[in-house]
Amino acid sequence: KNATICTILAAAGQQRSRMLATLYKDERCQQLSCFNILEKMYLDRLIKRTELTEFETLLQAHQKALTADGSTILEHAVIEHNLLAASKLYNNITFEGLGALLEIAPNKAERIASRMITEERMTGHIDQIDSVVHFETRQMLDTWDKQIQSLCFQVNSVIDKITTKEPEWLNKTMEAQMVS
Query: Which pTM was predicted?
Result: 0.70
What mean pLDDT is predicted for residues 150-165?
A: 88
Whether residue 12 is predicted with pLDDT greater than 90 in this model: the reply is: no
Q: Report the distance separating Cα 170 and Cα 176, nearest Å.
A: 10
The sheet with strand 92-94 has its strands ordered as 92-94, 132-135, 124-127
Helices (H), the chain: 2-9, 14-25, 35-42, 53-56, 73-89, 95-102, 106-118, 140-165, 167-179
pLDDT band per the 50, 70, 90 thresholds, residue 60: confident
Note the pLDDT tens digit of each residue in 116-148: 999 988 889 999 999 999 988 655 566 777 788
Q: How many CB atoms are located within 10 Å of the residue 163 CB?
A: 12
Q: Report the distance separating Cα 123 and Cα 120, nearest Å.
A: 6
Three-state DSSP state, 72: strand
Note the pLDDT tens digit of each residue in 66-114: 888 888 899 989 999 999 899 888 889 999 999 999 999 999 999 999 9
